[in-house]
Each structure stands twice: as C-alpha cells, then as structure tokens.
Structure 1
C-alpha cells in the first residue's frame, strides 16, 4: 500500500498584514465592495486554523458535515468540487480584481490558490473561457486606451505643429517685411534713408516765368529732371482751393474749400482764408491731405506753412507743423528743411521717437504771389522776387549735394496758379449789373458768386445780368445748377453760390465801396492789386509749374510729359514715398510716362502769353507782342507796358522807359562783363519783411 504523499501548499500571507502599498491596495476592498461581497477577512475564515486547512486538503470529516477535499488524489489525479460558498467568493475576487484594474491571469490564480481551489477539468474549461473573455475584454480595453492615448498625442502634436507653422509664417512675413523695408533704405554714407520727398510750392509762380532768364537753378533742374511745359490749376485758380487740391487730389467741389472766401448755407457761417478763427475749423476741410495719408501709414511728415496744414485733427497730426509767417526770409526756409533732413532716422544711432526724421517735407513759399499782387507779374519788382525764389531752391539743392542726398531725396517743385496784370481800364462796376441790396452774400474774388436774399430771385437776376452783359466779351455768367461748364468741376457742392459772374483774365469786378470805376478812369488812378488770378484755370496766364527729380523719377534728364491738372499731384507724391493714396479724383501714377525731351524738335515753343488789351475799345496787341519767345528774347514787360503807354501821362511813360532801360543795362552787364552786377530797382526790396499776403 503506497503511502499517500501529503502535499504542502505554502501559506499565503495574511491580507491583514500586506507587505507593500500595492498589495494593500490589492487586498483592501472599498466600502462598497465590502458591503456587497464581504471583507477579505471573511474570505479567509476557512483558513483560520491549521486543522481546518488540513481538513480541506485531505477531505477528512470534522465537526460538521463532510466537505469534499479540494486536492484529494485518486489514481494520481486531483479531484474535487467547488462549494457554493467558494464559488461565490471566487467570483467576488474576480469581480474585485476587474474593478481594481487587475489585468493579469496570475492575480486571479493567486486568489484561487489562496483558497486552495481544485482545478478540475470542468472548472478549468470554465475558467479558461472566462479567462479568454477577460483577456479579450482587457485587450479591447487596452486597445481603446491606446487609441485614446494616441489620439491625445496626435491632437497635441497637431496643435504644436500648427503653432510652429504659424510661428514660422509670422517669422517669414516679418522677415520679408524687414527685408523689403531694408531694401528701400539707401545710405548716404552716414545715415540710412527711406523714400523721402521734398515738395516745394512757389505760390503765384506763372509757367512762363521760367522763360525770362531769371531762373538758372530751375532751368537746370528741368534739364536734370522731368516736367511738362506747364501744369494746370483747378477752378477757381486761387490759393487755398488749389493748395488743398494738390494736397488731397480732390477738386474744390469735392474737398469743400471752394474759394478763399465763401458762405456755407448749412452752418450759416463764412469761410475767410486770412482769419484763423474762421478758416482753421476742421469742418471746412474735407478729404484726406498728404500729411494725414502718410502719418496714417507711419510715414512721418513735416509741413512748413502749407495752407490747411494748421487745421487740427485729433486723430492724425503731422510730426511737425510750422505756422504761417508771411515775413519769413527765404534762407530760413532752407535752414528749416535741412534741419529736418539732419535728424537721425529709425535705423540710425541717436534716433529719437519724439524728433523723427520726416520722409515728406511740404513747404510753402508765398513771396512770388505777394509781389505779383503788389506790383504785377510783369513789373520790375517781380523780377527780383523770382530770382530770390530761384536762389532759395538753389540753397536746397546745394544742401542735398553737401549731404550726398542728390540721388536719394526726391525734390518736386510746383506752383498753384499764374497771375494776370490788372488795369483800371479793365474794371467792371458791380452796380451796373445787379443791385447789391438784393444780394445777401458775395463769394470769391475776382469772380463773384451771388447769393440773393430770396432764393426765388435767382432766375430773375440771372436773366437780368445776361441782358446787361450781352454786348460784353469780358465776363461770363452761369447758374451753378444749370450751365456751369463741366470742365470747371464747380457745381456739386452747396457751398458754391447759385449765380456766378466770372470775368475774363485781367479783368476785375468792383463795387462802389471799393471804387467808382468812372471816377478812377477820369483821374487816372491805378487799380490795386496790380496782379490778379482766379480766372478760367485753362487760360495761359493761369498756368502753373511742375518739375521733379530723384529716385522716384527714373527718367532721362530733361524728359517732358504732357501737361496735366494738379489733381494728379497727390498720387504722385504718395507714390514717391511709398504710401497708398486715399480715394481721389486723380488718376496719374508713377512712373510718369515721358513723351520726349524738351530739346526735341517737336517740343512746343516756350510761350509767354500777353496780357489782355486795356479796354474793349483798345486795339489788340500786335502779333509780335504775343508770339512765343526764347528765354533770351522774351521781354513781356516791355510788350505789355507799351500797350499801357497810350493811357499814361508823359511822366509815367518816361518812368516806364527808365525801368526798361535799367533792365537792358543790367542784362548787358551780365552778358558782356562777367562778375559785374547791374543795379536792379527791386533788389533793395527783395529781403524786406512784411510781404503782402494775398490769395
């Protein structure tokens, strides 16, 4: 009889004394689990004593009813059955294992081994099926968790990738902008300059002033740059509307400054150009001027006395604004412009945000207009004023050359209108055309915009004036809303009076408070001002100038373009400093398109227009007086003044002859005795302060 070998199963460590934190977590159920399944201590009640353990292993009977042994051997095989209580406990352990995240088969077997559960073939099959299901579930759960992890990883990587792409794109854009900006910077040897333009306006500088042999600097500037034979002003050809048209690219009817003086029926106020309390209110000025366009795009601007620049805009202001000073000497203007160019730029050492170097400098020069009004455009005095303006330009160009900026800074020289000589014989009495007591407001000058006290009287007064001027060739009469010439672009604004009397060039309308025309003629009184503008903007005497040179004008020297109107200047200046213009009436853009050179054989001859005849009964000047002349041949003063001699006293005629002789002597000395300086009657007055301001 073979001796049955007793197998000894190692005692599992008691759950009450876990050896590690992990084991403690493994064996300690939650309160919910304890309530549902019982505690670990309950699970081990059958193992409380060695005898009980032995009984379970051998299948021996104890105090109670017999219990089948778990590991009894029969024919070398282990036999046994689960008790209901054991099955329940095993199921609880498996459930707890799942709830606690146990995923290995070893954990389940360990619990079964602790209880000494026999592994019969049936139970093994059942256990295997359960294990397979558990493993399948665990695999699914593992795959789901992995998918979640990978999904999170992909989301994080996508976010990081997108961030890097945006960061790289921003870097490229920033780099490209910096590169583009750097590409436009040009060094003069000591500093870097962004696109920079100096815009000079010579108020009242008539186009044919260039042909009088008085402007060597301007004539050389034309030879080096690009220009038309003339530039047309806008109607009405007076200072404030035209300077603001050049600054905005808008017709006066569009920007709202329709004259030097006018009435606004909406606000019941009058605009008067020399009265800052009435003219510097922002509500008068529409459109967007150059200084606002540039500053809005972070291009700094300096404005020296340009009409309209002193209007305060709380949102956008130029970096520098100089108030109007009609007595400022021209040399001071040169110093002011050069001082701005000498400031450090953003890329230079010592740059100061509070004192930036401007890229646009717009300067206004009133001298030629002032002396043109005072003495007339063909006077001896105006000759010196023209020379002074030319000398001032020479100072600017010399300053640029000294700073090695000739090929770096653009220079554009313009004027706003021309000038016509007036005379007492070319006066029209207002009272001969209309009763002033019927008129509430008179706008403009020398053109007259009439606002009747009663709006219903407009048609009647229009017919009355037409009847009284039907035999006169020296005035035009228009209704704003009916027959105002379209080329004037002077009807689409309520600030434009409904009824207009527009004299021809050289003529003027006066009321009796200013003078009795018949009495003035009888007494031989001289009418002042001696020069007037404001007429038809296409008349030859109203022609202005445009000359440009610099990197924004890469044309052959002495290039010629077709004449254009000053509404196009705004776009040209914007393009020269690389800013985008606001909407405007101009269409011309850089680069300009030359039609040839000024020296070409098909270039129109220099034209020096003559003044109108002294009166309607005076014969027209001889053809020789009005034909074109070269700069060395033009003597417009002599031609025009000879016509006036018929109405002068012998003393006046002698005085004029003396002036002409002086001019001849001066020219003779300069031609035949280099270095000699003739005595010009106007030289002593050229630098005097307090020049008369006029529109």
Structure 2
C-alpha cells in the first residue's frame, strides 16, 4: 500500500473513533427557554374564567386544544416525562411517593423530591443534557430538579419546603423576579419553573368550585406579570416561553353509595399482602406474600365494578406504565370520581387526578410564545411525551434517546428565515447524529470520501 493510502487509512480510523460523529454545533445566537408548569391546570379551566393574559398569549403564539399527559397522571411522573421525553415505565419515576417493597419504606411527596436514587435511575433529564452540551440551566421548584444525575447537579436550583404556601401570589412574583435574574445576571439558557396551583385548590375544593375559578384568575394574572417581566428584562426577542401542566382534575364522588373500599371486600384480607401502596387517589399497588398472588388476584379482579385490577404483565400496554421493575405484581386504578380506600377511609379530597389519561378531565394545557414560535396557531391535541424533543430543538441540543417524535410539534415553529425568527439547528437522526445538507451524517460522509480516495490510491 502506498504512503497516501496509509494516511487515508489512518484518517478513516480517526473517523471511526469515539466522538467522530459529535453533533454539529449550532451557529449564530441561541435563544433562551423558560418552561413553566402550573400543576393541575385542566385543559378547560380557561373556559369558565376570564383569562385575558392566557388568551393574549394564544393570539401571539401557539395553543394546543389540549395535551394528553402520561399515565399515571400524577405530579412527579408526569413532570419527569416532560423533561425526559419518556413514558413513565421507561424513565422509572412511577409514583409521587418513594417506596421500597423490601424495607417497606414509603415516603411522602415532599420527602421524595430529595431522594436522589428515586429520580436518578438511568434517565438523564434535559437540564443535564443541556449542561453537557455547554449550556447553563436552572430549576425553580420543578420536580426532579434538586438532585444529581450521574453525579451532575443542575446549575442553579430551588426546592420548595414541606410547609410551602402554594397560594402566595406575592411569592409567585418574587420567584419570577428571581428567574429573570437567572437569565440576565447568571447567564442561564434554560429554566424550568413550577407552581403548585391550581392543583392544591382543586384537591381541596374541587375543580368546579369558585375557589378553583379564583385561583385560575390568579394564575392568569401571574402569566401577565411573567410576560411583563420578560419585556422589562429585555428578553422578549431572545426567550421562548412555554406554559403547560402535568395533568387535570376531576370531582370525587365522596357521597357515592358504592365507594371502593378494600376493607369491605368479601374474601379479601391484608394478611395475604406483603406490601401495599393504597389510599393515594385512584391508583394502587400490591405485593402479595409468597404463593398468594393467584388467590389475591382472583379475589380482587371482580371485587368492584369501578376498580380495574391487573397482573403486572397484563396491564394495558397503551398506558406505557407497568413494564418497570418498580411496579408490583398487582396494580390497579379506579374509574373517574372514585378513589381507592385501603384499610380505612382516609381520603377526603373533593378533587383528584391519577385516573386514565384518556379521560377528558385529565387533559391539560399547552401554550407557547416567543421568537421561535408561530403566531395565532391552534394545534390538535398531542401527548406530553413529545414536548421534550421540542425543548431540545429550541435549545439547539441533541436529545437523549426518548419516546417522543420531533415531527409532532415541528409545525408550531416559525419558518426559517422569517423576520426575527431563529434558524433551526441541524436536523438529527434518531440516534442524535447531526445531518449535513442532503441528509448525510458526517461520519457516513467521511467514510464515503475515504473509501473513494482509498480506491484511487491503492
């Protein structure tokens, strides 16, 4: 082989080396991104309340008719789907509560927010992915934003306290002020901001209550304050804003004559159960004692017409929920309006979520405005699992492997070359490799060129 051929062979080896197919870096100015979640904001909450700021945001940007959250429709699992693009069985945050079926430990929601091993179980959320690609990120009260992932923490973060007052409108505005400083003074590129309302009010008073309507008006005022703050901070032309939520809310049939009460089921006994996770809305998990699985299942499968009990392997696949090691051999959910009572009746909420994500009351909102978005566009419903790919596109970063599809939400982005619109980053393959013009990944282009030259000099 000639000297030229040897050199070309070496070049070919370099192309095959790890890192040879790193993504092409985005050129030009990068826009910032603020993802805001108002917990428990049902898709139709703006229809019985005057919401001028949300309405203006829709006219000036993008609105989805509604968004379908992941199942199970709980706060932490659904929020983690938004920042990973994975169905819950694939990201592993399967419940609001940390639990261990061996030790029998169960921790409440606020304590679970700080349990690193509950969140860091293989999936890397967008904060960490963005930081690995040179960006700075922040999380303000967002579930999952206060632990480390593979040894890396979010650049800046705040965690809500266990006695945090979700309703304090003055604090909401102070939190927004802090986030604006994170963008302007700390140089952050991405921030996720969480508010615990109208979920808390919906639980306490019910989704049809006047208190909930008053809280939606407060949310709308806050959206107005947020958008004014973006303008005052000089970020209007450089920051994309997305407002969404994790799930909806429905009314609990507290006075129904057919409550779902395990302690009243004939032939069922908790003596056959090794571990239980009940009394958490309409969802439940059971680990029967050795040798008792079939017996418990046979007793429960037809125990109540409003209760749906499955063996793990038979749980409906379209929920994308049960195929994870943390899920117990038996799991269940109840019909809308019905919660699951275990040993005692200890649930007293007037509103609840956690139900089948196909139920309309579980649907939620999606609004977006900013330099990258079209104006005055309403889009058809979509699943929340697709939002992550959009977030990555807006930031110009290569996403981790996920269950979403970028094409679902590409139509919400403004065309390239429009006035004040950013150019989109290079399109990517499903593996995340950036494509050159014509759709050829750089590695393949290099291999093709090297092969041609080797043929000429060999």
Residue 500 (structure 1) aligned with residue 335 (structure 2)? no
Pairing partner for 2:271 from 419, 437, 440: 437
- Would you say 1:538 and 2:358 are equivalent positions? yes
Is 1:211 the counterpart of 2:53 in the alignment? no
CA contact under 8 A between 1:368 and 1:385: conserved in structure 2? Answer: yes
The aligned residue for residue 430 of structure 2 is none
CA contact (8 A) 1:247 1:570 kept: yes
Aligned residues: 380
**Closer, same or farther in 2 for the Cα pair 1:204/1:222, shift >3 Å?**
same
5+ residue gaps in structure 2?
4-23, 414-458
**Do residues 528 (structure 1) and 348 (structure 2) align?**
yes
Q: Please, which of 205, 209, 222 is the counterpart of residue 375 of structure 1?
A: 205
Asked if 1:392 corresponds to 2:210, the answer is: no
Q: CA deviation at 1:581?
A: 0.7
Q: Which has the larger radius of gyration?
A: 1
- The answer to whether residue 107 in structure 2 is matched with residue 272 in structure 1 is yes
2:391 — aligned with what? 573
TM-score (norm 1): 0.52
- Aligned position for 2:196: 366
Q: CA deviation at 1:396?
A: 1.1
How well do the aligned residues superpose, as a CA RMSD in angstroms?
A: 2.5
Of 63, 70, 81, which aligns to 1:245?
Answer: 81
Counterparts of residues 319-334 of structure 1 (less than 5 Å): 319-325=155-161, 326-327=164-165, 329-334=171-176
1:446 aligns with 2:281: yes
Distance 1:212 1:296 in 2: 44
Partner of 2:117: 282
Residue correspondence of structure 1 range 165-314 to structure 2 within 5 A: 181=27, 183=28, 185=29, 194-261=30-97, 263-265=99-101, 268=103, 270=105, 272-276=107-111, 279-282=114-117, 284-286=119-121, 287-313=123-149
Q: Which residue of 1 aligns with 2:319?
A: 488
| Structure 2 match to 1:149 | none
Residue aligning to 2:421? none
Matched, 1:339 2:171: no
Task: Report deviation, 1:301.
Answer: 0.5
| Separation in 2, partners of 1:277, 1:493 | 19
- Structure 1 residues 574, 269: closer, same or farther in 2, change over 3 A? farther
Structure with more contact order per residue of length (Cα contacts < 8 Å, sep ≥ 6):
2
1:50 is matched with none
| TM-score normalised according to structure 2 size | 0.77
CA contact (8 A) 1:261 1:443 kept: no
- Closer/same/farther in 2, CA of residues 368 and 488 from structure 1, 3 Å limit: same
Deviations 1:217-247 (A, max 9, x none): 1111112111221101111101011111111
Residues 171-216 of structure 1: per-residue CA shift (max 9 Å, x gap): xxxxx97xx64x2x2xxxxxxxx32011000000000002113321
Name the CA shift for 1:442/1:432 in 2 (closer, same or farther; >3 Å).
Answer: same
Structure 1 contact 262–495 (Cα < 8 Å) conserved: no
User: Following the alignment from structure 2 to structure 1, what is the Cα–Cα distance between the partners of residues 132 and 228?
Assistant: 32
In the TM superposition, residue 485 of structure 1 has moved relative to its aligned partner by 0.9
Contact 1:561 1:592 in 2 (8 A): no
Give the distance between the partners of 1:251 and 1:590, measured in 2 at CA.
16
Paired residue for 1:403?
233
Provide the secondary structure at the position in 2 that maps to 1:201.
strand
* More displaced 10-residue stretch of structure 1: 276-285 or 227-236: 276-285
Q: CA 1:313–1:285 in 2, change beyond 3 Å: closer, same or farther?
A: closer
More helix by share: 1
**8 Å contact from structure 1 (residues 443, 497) kept in 2:** no
SS in 1 for 2:302: helix
SS of equivalent residue, structure 2 residue 337? coil
- In structure 1, what is the Cα distance between the partners aligned to 2:207 and 2:230? 31
Q: Distance in 2 between matches of 1:384 and 1:416?
A: 20
Task: Note if contact 1:272-1:278 (Cα within 8 Å) is conserved in structure 2.
Answer: no
Q: Is the 8 A contact 2:84 2:125 kept in 1?
A: yes
User: Does residue 300 of structure 2 align to residue 465 of structure 1?
Assistant: yes
**Cα distance in 1 between the residues matched to 2:391 and 2:311:** 35
Q: Shift of the alpha carbon at 1:594?
A: 5.8
Give the superposition deviation at 1:535.
Answer: 0.4
- Aligned residue for 2:342? 511
